[in-house]
Amino acid sequence: MVTGANTGIGQGIAVALARSGADVALVARRDPAETRALVEAEGVRAHVVMADLSSIEPCEGIVAETVGTLGRLDVLVNNAGIIRRDDALDFSEADWDAVMDVNLKVLFFLSQAAARHMTGWASQSGARGKIVNIASMLTFQGGIRVPSYTASKSGVGGLTKLMANEWAANGINVNAIAPGYIATNNTAALQADETRNRQILERIPEGRWGDPADIGGAAVFLASRAADYVQGHILAVDGGWLAR
CATH of the domain at 38: 3.40.50.720
Would you say residue 242 lies in a domain?
Answer: no
Alpha helices of 41-101 — where are they, by DSSP H?
59-70, 93-100
- Name residues whose C-beta falls within 8 Å of residue 127's C-beta, 6 or more positions apart in sequence: 74, 121, 171
Residues recognised as catalytic: 149
pTM, rounded to two decimals:
0.96
Q: 3-state DSSP call for residue 174?
A: strand
Number of domains in the chain: 1
pLDDT in tens, 131-158: 999 999 999 999 999 999 999 999 999 9
**Domain hosting residue 20, numbered range:** 2-237
Would you say residue 114 lies in a domain?
Answer: yes
Would you say residue 49 lies in a domain?
Answer: yes
Would you say residue 244 lies in a domain?
Answer: no
Nearest by Cα to 164 from 130, 140, 134 = 130
pLDDT in tens, 175-222: 999 999 999 887 888 899 999 999 999 999 999 999 999 999 999 999
- What is the Cα–Cα distance from 128 to 220, expressed in whole angstroms? 14
Averaged confidence pLDDT in the chain: 97
